[in-house]
Every structure is written in structure tokens, then in C-alpha cells.
Amino acid sequence: MARYAREVAVVAFAQSDHLRRTDELSEVEMVMPVLHQVLAATGLKAGEIGFTCSGSSDYLMGRAFSFTMTLDGVGAWPPISESHVEMDGAWALYEAWVKIQTGEADTALVYSYGKSSPGSVRDVLTRQLDPYYVAPLWPDSVAMAALQAQALIDAGETDEAGLAAIGARSRASASANPHAQLSGAVAQGEYQVAPLRTGDCPPIGDGAAAVILAAGDVARRLCERPAWITGIDHRIEAHSLGLRDLTDSPSTRIAAEHAGVFESPVDTAELHAPFSSQEVVLRKALGLGGDVAVNPSGGALAANPMMAAGLIRIGEAAARIHRGESDRAVAHATSGPCLQQNLVAVLEGDRA
């Protein structure tokens, strides 16, 4: 605890059901139920929250300033202390955690959401690549992940059967997750881009998530077993794939070191690995052994709502601590092509 000025915990988590299409729902309508759920879980009203922060992407929504509409769903009146990151909600949580560390807030509401269904997310994601030299070629996200998967196979780190097992295990685990988009025995399917088959790729879906953070005794009052954030850090790498060893994730390792992951064992890991091959990279960077429950929620291979999937990893890890199913968990979020940017958090419950 001495690492930071204040003890901060995740005290509530809610997520939507993740669905292939939500044509009938606006983003506001998608976000409001999860906001109401986390507030109800803590008994807090929107006006009692010290700081609010959200994560989303205008490009998914197809319009500028899209987050101004979802803010309406928060009920920001009287005016609230609020901010937004154009990133996955895990980074919104990070900004909120920093705010609580300054002492300017004791509680924070964090939410994020994304609808991938209105467009072609494989095409949309090409727009986040180098706009002059790479984006004009429209290399899609699956093709780039396939490069990474092939590099892993070439390096002898895994093979196609090993990848298939990751997908199968994730979706089997998701059978216990009522919010998951894909669960149970899902066929490995055809190649999308070799060596990745359908079963190695995330479903495309819409969804939202929300978390409430609280400091010290406020957390103890709001939650029977708070999930204390004992460490959190994030790092970015070079953008160009040609500058990176795709079989490794140094940014995850640096973030994990700063978050204190390696100081004692973890029992649970919620990894934001949209592709089965990325779990191989992350397991290595985080030094996870076979005794760690990896993605018991099913992970991003069972539900990958863009901009919310990383926050959901933190929420799922926290929820396991709330339920007494974990004592020390690591949660991870990623952004950018082939794991360019990574956030790592350590969550711990008080021992009985």
C-alpha cells in the first residue's frame, strides 16, 4: 500500500449483455442500465460521486463529440467534475484513480462503451494506423494479428493446435458468464487470415461497462470485500510493427513491474487478448504459470466490445475478489495494433 498516497478499490462493476447487433439501442440507452446498476450496488447517487471519467471512440460512433451524448445519461446536473479519454475505459479508470490519489475525490464513476455493429470494425481499425504510409493500404486488424500469430509459431512459442485450445478454453469458461456473446463449444472454423481461424478471433459486438472506485474507509463502507488496486501502470510501444518483436510485449512487462505484479503470486488473470495468439504473448510477459486462472470470464474471445473490453477485464477481476473467488488478481487492457499499448493492474482483497 505504501506505493501510493491513498488506498483505492473497485467497489462495484456492471456490464451489459454483449450482442452482435444493437440496432434498436442508442449509446445512451446502452450505457444507462450499467450506470444505474453500479450506482444501485453502492447506494450512491450520480451527484454524490467525486469524479466521473469515460472512455469511447468517435470513430466507432461515426460522429464527432459522441461522448457528449452519453454524458447526458449520467445525469450531470448539477454540474459534475468529469473527463473523457479517447481510449478504452481501462485508461479512464486510470485517470480516475490518479484523481483520487490527488485527494480531490474520494469516489469515481468510470464507464465505457462501444458499438462496432454499425460499420465494419476491421476496416474502421485501419484508420488508427500511420495515416501516410500504412493506413492507405487498409491492412485490417485480423491480418495484423495473423502476422503476430505466425511470428509466434515461427519462433516455436505455439502452434495452431495450441491456439485452438485457447479459444476453446475461453468459450468454455464463458458458459458461466451470462453477458458473454460467444460461449460453449464454438467451432474453430475456417481460416480468417492464416494461421488464425474464426475460433482464434474475437466476436464483433456492442457493449458497455461501468465501475465505481472508492478510497479507504469509503470503499470499506460501500463494499463488503473491496478489490484494492495495489498497483496500476500502463506503457506504450512503437507504432510500426517493423520496429517491434511481435512475439514479446515489453510494455506489458514494464507496466507489470511498476504495478508490482511480480512481488507475489496471482491466482487470477483477466487478459485483454482479442486474439488467441495474444494470450500466448501476455502469459509470457506477465510470467503466468499453469496454476493461474486465465480469463475465467471467457475474456475477449467471448465478448470484445471495443473500448469497454479492457475495463471489463478490471471489472471481472474485481468481481472475483468481491465474491471471494480470488485474493490477488492481475487485470490487463490493450490498445493499438498487435498489443501496442498495455495497462496492467493488480487487485487484492483483504485476507480473512
Partner 1 sequence: MSTTGKEPVAVVGIGQTKHVAARHDVSLAGLVREAAARALADAELTWADIDAVVIGKAPDFFEGVMMPELYLADALGAVGKPMLRVHTAGSVGGSTALVASNLVAARVHRTVLTLAFEKQSESNAMWGLSLPVPFQQPLLAGAGGFFAPHVRAYMRRTGAPDTVGSLVAYKDRRNALKNPYAHLHEHDITLEKVQASPMLWDPIRYSETCPSSDGACAMILTDRAGAARSPKPPAWVHGGAMRSEPTLFAGKDFVSPQAGKDCAADVYRQAGITDPRREIDAVEMYVPFSWYEPMWLENLGFAEEGEGWKMTEAGVTELDGDLPVNPSGGVLSTNPIGASGMIRFAEAALQVRGQAGEHQVPDARRAMGHAYGGGAQFFAMWLVGAEQPGS
Q: What residues make contact with partner 1 under the rule CB under 8 A?
A: 4-5, 26, 50, 52, 57-59, 62-65, 67-69, 71-72, 75-87, 91, 94-95, 98-99, 101-106, 124-125, 127-132, 135, 233-240, 243, 250-251, 254, 335-337, 340-341
DSSP class of residue 190?
Answer: S
User: What is residue 117's three-state secondary structure?
Assistant: coil
Q: Which is nearer to partner 1, 282 or 338 (CB)?
A: 338
Q: At its nearest, how many Å lie between partner 1 and the CB of residue 250?
A: 7
CA angle 313-268-222, nearest 5°?
A: 65
From the list 183, 335, 323, the residue with the least C-alpha distance to 267 is 323
> For 181-211, b where at least 16 C-beta lie within 10 A, e where not — what string?
bbbeebebeeebbebbbebbbbbbbbbbbbb
Q: Which is nearer to partner 1, 149 or 232 (CB)?
A: 232
Q: Which is nearer to partner 1, 144 or 174 (CB)?
A: 144
Q: Which is nearer to partner 1, 127 or 221 (CB)?
A: 127
Q: By the 8 A CB rule, do 246 and 233 touch? A: no
From the list 77, 62, 39, 91, the residue with the least C-alpha distance to 236 is 91
Residues 6+ apart with CB under 8 A from 352: none
Chain centroid offset of residue 207 CA: 12
Q: Which is nearer to partner 1, 98 or 164 (CB)?
A: 98
Q: Which is nearer to partner 1, 88 or 327 (CB)?
A: 88
Taking CB atoms within 8 Å and a gap of at least 24, the contacts of 197-201 are 197/160, 197/164, 199/164, 199/167, 199/168, 199/171, 199/276, 199/301, 200/149, 200/163, 200/164, 200/166, 200/167, 200/275, 200/276, 200/277, 200/301, 201/142, 201/145, 201/274, 201/275, 201/301
Q: Which is nearer to partner 1, 101 or 150 (CB)?
A: 101
Q: By the 8 A CB rule, do 95 and 64 touch? A: no
Q: Which is nearer to partner 1, 23 or 190 (CB)?
A: 23
Q: At its nearest, how many Å lie between partner 1 and the CB of residue 75?
A: 8
Compute CA distances 85 → 15, 23, 114, whole Å. 19, 25, 13
Q: At its nearest, how many Å lie between partner 1 and the CB of residue 230?
A: 14
